[in-house]
Amino acid sequence: MTIYNIMIWFQWCCMLLSFIFSIRTINNNSIPSYMRGFYIYSLLALCLCSLSVINLLTGHINFHYLVIIQKLSLIFHYSFLSYFIYGTFTNRKVKLFFTPIFFSFLCLILISLVDNLYEIDTFHTNAITNLALVFYCLIYYYQLFNKPPVEILLEEPSFWMVSGLFLSLTITVPINSLRHFLINHISEDFNFEIVSISVFAYGTMHLFFVKAYLCSIHKKIVS
């Protein structure tokens, strides 16, 4: 079994674990408002990764169909996570500043998808999408560290969610930006090992989500 295959299984297990913990937040009005509905992201991420696992085991899923699904999922990935980060903002000026940036990046993502509509890769679109989300994470940190602390930071679900996004997506941006170069200049086996880093990063991101779900449940218990 190659490193890439191992990382695919690692990612799937992390996403499954994340979804299992997210179940306790469904229709739970005692958790922070920005966490309500986040289980949808964990569910869809698990389903998408499950398709990759099935294809890995059987090879019966058409690769082009997987690419189409991935392209559509990028729009959801960007929109859903952007909306989540927006929901953690408390500063009105930050919210006003966020809106035009969101739609600007959305236009870039859509243009990138249209330009590569008949291509099987989504490297550049993925890089743009994750770069935008990394930027939103930085806005979150800016707001977080420029206001008086009112809670224990390590018990705040949004901190773990955004930290997972920031650390994981920061890893994927340079890898996706350089994918075409890497494909043309390194061996196929080594290229898959590089891709494995991104797969590992996405899996790790969902472990941060598990911690955020636990913090959300804890908030319910102690309230």
pLDDT in tens, the chain (223 residues): 588 889 999 999 999 999 999 999 998 888 989 999 999 999 999 998 888 788 777 766 666 677 778 888 899 999 999 999 999 988 888 888 899 999 999 999 999 888 776 566 678 889 999 999 999 999 999 888 887 666 688 889 999 999 999 999 999 999 888 877 777 777 777 777 888 999 999 999 999 999 999 999 876 444 3
**Residue 222: what pLDDT?**
42
Residue ranges covered by each domain of the chain: 3-222
Count of all residues that appear for the chain in the document: 223
**Residue 91: what pLDDT?**
82
DSSP string, 81-122: HHHHHHHH---HHHHHHHHHHHHHHHHHHHHHHHHTTT-S--
Instruction: Give dist(CA 47, CA 172) in Å, integer.
Output: 21
